[in-house]
């Protein structure tokens, strides 16, 4: 391929600028595959990650109980290599964090990825040099780098959200955020522990903490619906069939709404009688996982009344499981089921039957302040030795904004996204040439199989780079008009559903001051068809510059 590998990719020791074809930020599922794919095309690629190892979200989220919620092994994994599918044995249907991390470490070694990754390196600055048609980057250690293409694989759930609660920094005990969990073992034994937050991280960790702690106080702002995860050891027959038919299974995953090879229902909840619905919900509750949400009825997430039938069923389960009626009442959710990230648990509601667990309903009894010795709510003081913040993330856009690249004219992404998270195809941004996002706002990201989505997005980026190189083009960026059309397309699909009606991290409502926008493309496989169409039409919606990039004096030094 013309022009490829034209720049040295040996790290410089004398402080000079290092040049690459591609810089990838992030060594999670997205970044690792981008490296493998683009390096395989003959491009020089360098990956940077602030963590000390591969894994992205699976490197950071080591809290007890952290587990895959996506429907089952061996499907939440890379799909591109049949050898890899044959080599890797997943122990359970819903792998825990150590298993996923071990898998990604294996992948990094298996495909010899580590030699092109620099760990413990945060990117401090990213600025597009219009004259050079290259990104100029600077690491936190002051290293200077240039790359024609910048791929932000910074993660959708990586910018942790630390709540702005008065006195939080004065707490004298141990304090951990689930998304920045320590690597050393954390002991809860004999301790009074408080957990703030009851999203996935809270609901997964609370039963584990309760088993060990002397006393656990759960501070809940919004009660949520949770479904039993029903994790099981892998069935060897499922593994055998997957390995023998991987190409067909991969095709099925790519064409399915969630990126998983499972049937989704096409029937309305009102095609069944109430008794039939109840029987189906009971069957799928026993089966566990996302099946009850996506495998029951097609209109659960689009029709308020259909949604209510399932919400009532789950509220009934909470009432049956939790023995104390006052506690059960506090745990009853009242939003449209599934419109916040659907929680899966292993004994969450049962945990509130334990003698050493208390639930504080912050809607009735809000936190006033955090004291050195605990949490003071309106009605009480809770003495604690440890505080666990399961308070989530500035999702989807947060990590991109923390990087805050500067595009044409030095304008920052923060300025660009002040009122709307505009993108084209969820992957590119007008005025930010040669920048690509994996799982950016406006892509299917968290509502599609993320490893598979990352593979398909990286492949599209690779094709796009190849197109530029073979046509003598130096830069590509979308037009503002294409962004507006994409925004309408994403919003149009979302507005047919109940998702935008709920305060959630999908809509940005969990972050004070963040503007409300539902940032997930809900069309599933239609997204990848749209990507293919755009490419087939000569990258419709994009503008190009011929290649004229000259290394500016600063970059050449
Ligand atoms: P989530 O799902 O955003 O949950 C965060 C929780 O923390 C949620 O219950 C919040 O209540 C609560 N929260 C946030 N800020 C506060 C303050 N200031 N006071 C009290 N409670 C607060 O994050 P997770 O880490 O659990 O899950 C994120 C994803 O990671 C998950 O879906 C998986 O895909 C992996 P709220 O509901 O906003 O009232």
Q: pLDDT digit string (tens) for 464-520?
A: 999 999 999 999 999 999 999 999 999 999 999 999 999 999 999 999 999 999 999
Output the pTM of the full model.
0.96
Per-residue pLDDT 10s for the chain (557 aa) are: 333 333 434 455 667 999 999 999 999 999 999 999 999 999 999 999 999 999 999 999 999 999 999 988 999 999 999 999 999 999 999 999 999 999 999 999 999 999 999 999 999 999 999 999 999 999 999 999 999 999 999 999 999 999 999 999 999 999 999 999 999 999 999 999 999 999 999 999 999 999 999 999 999 999 999 999 999 999 999 999 999 999 999 999 999 999 998 888 999 999 999 999 999 999 999 999 999 999 999 999 999 999 999 999 999 999 999 999 999 999 999 999 999 999 999 999 999 999 999 999 999 999 999 999 999 999 999 999 999 999 999 999 999 999 999 999 999 999 999 999 999 999 999 999 999 999 999 999 999 999 999 999 999 999 999 999 999 999 999 999 999 999 999 999 999 999 999 999 999 999 999 999 999 999 999 999 999 999 999 999 999 999 987 766 667 76
CATH of domain 162-220+353-392: 3.50.50.60
Other C-beta atoms closer than 10 Å to the C-beta of 493 total 18
Candidates 160, 178, 197: which one to mutate for ligand 1, based on the most atoms within 8 Å of Cβ? 197
| Cα–chain center distance at 518 | 15
CA distance 312 to 307: 9
For residue range 425-475, list pLDDT tens digits in order: 999 999 999 999 999 999 999 999 999 999 999 999 999 999 999 999 999
Cα 461 to ligand 1 centroid, rounded to whole Å: 32
| Residue 153 tokens, joined | 């694989």
Per the omega criterion (within 30 degrees of 0), is the bond before 37 cis?
no
Which residues have a Cβ under 8 Å from the Cβ of 343 and sit 6 or more positions away? 69, 199, 200, 203, 224, 225, 226, 227
Cα 527 to ligand 1 centroid, rounded to whole Å: 28
Which residues have a Cβ under 8 Å from the Cβ of 303 and sit 6 or more positions away? 268, 269, 498
Instruction: Break the chain into its structural domains and give their ranges.
Output: 17-159+395-556, 162-220+353-392
| Residue 504 tokens, joined | 């959630």
- The greatest distance separating any two alpha carbons of the chain, rounded to the nearest whole angstrom, comes to 75
| Cα–chain center distance at 8 | 33
CA distance 120 to 54: 10
For residues 468 and 474, the answer to whether their CB atoms sit within 8 Å is yes
List, in sequence order, the alpha helices (H) in 288-333: 291-294, 304-321, 325-330
For residues 362 and 218, the answer to whether their CB atoms sit within 8 Å is no
Q: How far is CA 94 from CA 116, 117, 365, 436, 496, in A?
A: 30, 28, 35, 31, 31
| Residue 552 tokens, joined | 């500016």
Same fold flag, 17-159+395-556 and 162-220+353-392: yes
Q: Does domain 17-159+395-556 have CATH number 3.50.50.60?
A: yes
For residues 269 and 296, the answer to whether their CB atoms sit within 8 Å is yes
* Residues in the ligand 1 pocket, defined by CB under 6 Å: 69, 157, 163, 165, 178, 196-202, 221-222, 341, 362, 390-393, 505, 510
Residue from 547, 525, 533, 546 nearest 264 by CA: 525
Cα 537 to ligand 1 centroid, rounded to whole Å: 41
Other C-beta atoms closer than 10 Å to the C-beta of 257 total 17
- Minimal-distance CA residue to ligand 1 atom 12: 197
For Cα atoms 329, 335, 339, give the angle at the middle one, nearest 5 degrees.
135
CA distance 539 to 553: 32
For residue range 115-161, list pLDDT tens digits in order: 999 999 999 999 999 999 999 999 999 999 999 999 999 999 999 99
- Minimal-distance CA residue to ligand 1 atom 14: 391
- Minimal-distance CA residue to ligand 1 atom 2: 199
Closest ligand 1 atom to Cα of 392:
23
CA distance 437 to 26: 11
Closest ligand 1 atom to Cα of 391:
7
Cα 199 to ligand 1 centroid, rounded to whole Å: 5
Pairing verdict, β 45-48 and 18-25: parallel
- Minimal-distance CA residue to ligand 1 atom 37: 222
Closest ligand 1 atom to Cα of 343:
32
At residue 252, φ and ψ (nearest 5 deg) are -65, -40
Closest ligand 1 atom to Cα of 165:
18
The enclosing H or E element of 31 equals: helix 29-40
| Residue 168 tokens, joined | 């939080």
CA distance 153 to 439: 7
């Amino acid at each position: 391929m013309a022009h490829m590998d034209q720049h040295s990719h040996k790290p410089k020791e004398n402080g000079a600028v290092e040049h690459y074809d591609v810089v990838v930020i992030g060594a999670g599922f997205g970044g690792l595959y981008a490296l493998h794919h683009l390096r395989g095309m003959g491009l020089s690629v360098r990956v940077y990650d602030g963590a000390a190892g591969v894994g992205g979200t699976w490197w950071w989220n080591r809290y007890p109980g952290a587990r895959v919620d996506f429907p089952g092994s061996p499907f939440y994994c890379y799909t591109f290599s049949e050898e890899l599918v044959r080599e890797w044995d997943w122990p359970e249907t819903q792998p825990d964090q150590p298993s996923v991390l071990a898998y990604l470490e294996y992948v990094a070694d298996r495909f010899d990825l580590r030699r092109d990754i620099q760990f413990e390196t945060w990117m401090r600055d990213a600025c597009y040099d219009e004259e050079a048609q290259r990104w100029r980057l600077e690491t936190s250690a002051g290293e200077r780098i240039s790359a024609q293409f910048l791929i932000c694989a910074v993660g959708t759930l990586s910018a942790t959200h630390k709540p702005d609660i008065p006195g939080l920094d004065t707490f004298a005990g141990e304090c951990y955020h689930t998304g920045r969990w320590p690597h050393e073992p954390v002991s809860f034994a004999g301790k009074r522990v408080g957990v703030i937050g009851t999203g996935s991280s809270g609901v997964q960790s609370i039963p584990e903490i309760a088993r060990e702690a002397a006393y656990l106080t759960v501070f809940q702002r919004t009660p949520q619906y949770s479904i039993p995860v029903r994790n099981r050891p892998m069935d060897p027959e499922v593994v055998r069939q997957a390995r023998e038919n991987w190409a067909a299974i991969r095709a099925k995953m790519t064409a399915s709404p969630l990126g998983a090879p499972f049937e989704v229902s096409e029937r309305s909840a009102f095609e069944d009688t109430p008794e039939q619905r109840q029987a189906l919900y009971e069957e799928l509750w026993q089966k566990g996982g996302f099946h009850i949400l996506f495998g029951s009825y097609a209109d659960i997430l689009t029709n308020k009344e259909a949604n209510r039938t399932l919400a009532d069923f789950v509220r009934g389960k909470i009432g049956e499981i939790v023995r104390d009626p006052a506690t059960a009442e506090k745990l009853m959710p009242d939003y449209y089921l599934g419109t916040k990230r659907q929680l899966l648990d292993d004994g969450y509601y049962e945990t509130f039957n334990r003698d050493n667990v208390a639930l504080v309903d912050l809607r009735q009894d809000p936190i006033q302040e955090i004291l050195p010795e605990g949490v003071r709510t309106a009605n009480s003081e809770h003495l604690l030795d440890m505080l666990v913040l399961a308070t989530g993330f500035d999702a989807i856009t947060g990590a991109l904004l923390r990087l805050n690249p500067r595009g044409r004219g030095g304008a920052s992404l923060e300025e660009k996204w002040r009122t709307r998270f505009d993108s084209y195809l969820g992957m590119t941004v007008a005025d930010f040439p040669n920048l690509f996002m994996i799982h950016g706002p406006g892509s299917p990201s968290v509502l599609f199989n993320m490893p598979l989505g990352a593979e398909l997005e990286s492949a599209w980026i690779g094709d796009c780079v190849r197109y530029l190189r073979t046509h003598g083009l130096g830069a590509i960026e979308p037009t503002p008009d294409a962004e507006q059309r994409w925004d309408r397309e994403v919003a149009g699909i979302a507005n047919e559903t109940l998702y935008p009606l709920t305060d959630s991290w999908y809509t940005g409502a969990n972050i004070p001051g963040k503007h409300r926008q539902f940032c997930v493309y809900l069309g599933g496989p239609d997204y990848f068809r749209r990507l293919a169409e755009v490419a087939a039409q000569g990258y419709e919606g994009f503008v190009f510059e011929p290649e004229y990039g000259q290394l500016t004096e600063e970059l050449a030094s």
